[in-house]
Amino acid sequence: MESARADNRQGLLVGGACLRTADDLMRKQMLPAAQELYQRENQRLRADCGHAGSRPWVAIALGVVAPAALGWAQYRTYPRTNRVLNRGLVAAATVAVLPRGTAGVR
């Protein structure tokens, strides 16, 4: 393509012929194929969006209940052990809360 452009700039006939052939190839074969591919991918996307279910309410409920249960366990453990924070429960609560921030991000 670049050599055809260079030849065309120099006024050589072969450069213009190569550019016309490339233009013809692009208009008759490449662009229709790209358009067909675009349409197929859009149809697949619409089908996938149609098959996607509603929100995962069970996972959302567990994401709320698990940290609450761990907080309650932390509160219940404090009078028995005189520890303000139990390392294991803090680690579990951290693990339960952190992945929620990335869930559902598109």
The verdict on pTM exceeding 0.75 is no
- How many whole angstroms separate alpha carbon 52 and alpha carbon 46? 10
Local confidence band at 89 (pLDDT 50, 70, 90 cut-offs)? confident
The pLDDT tens digits for 5-31 are 776 677 766 777 877 888 888 899 999
Residue 102, CA distances (Å) to 28, 42, 66, 89, 105 in order: 45, 26, 17, 22, 6
Contact 63, 100 (CB under 8 A): yes
**SS3 category, 84:** coil
How many CA within 13 A on the CB side of residue 102? 4
pLDDT of residue 32: 94
Q: In this model, does residue 105 exceed pLDDT 60? A: no
How many C-beta atoms surround the C-beta of residue 93 within 10 A? 20
Contact 4, 18 (CB under 8 A): yes
How many CA within 13 A on the CB side of residue 49? 6
How many C-beta atoms surround the C-beta of residue 99 within 10 A? 9
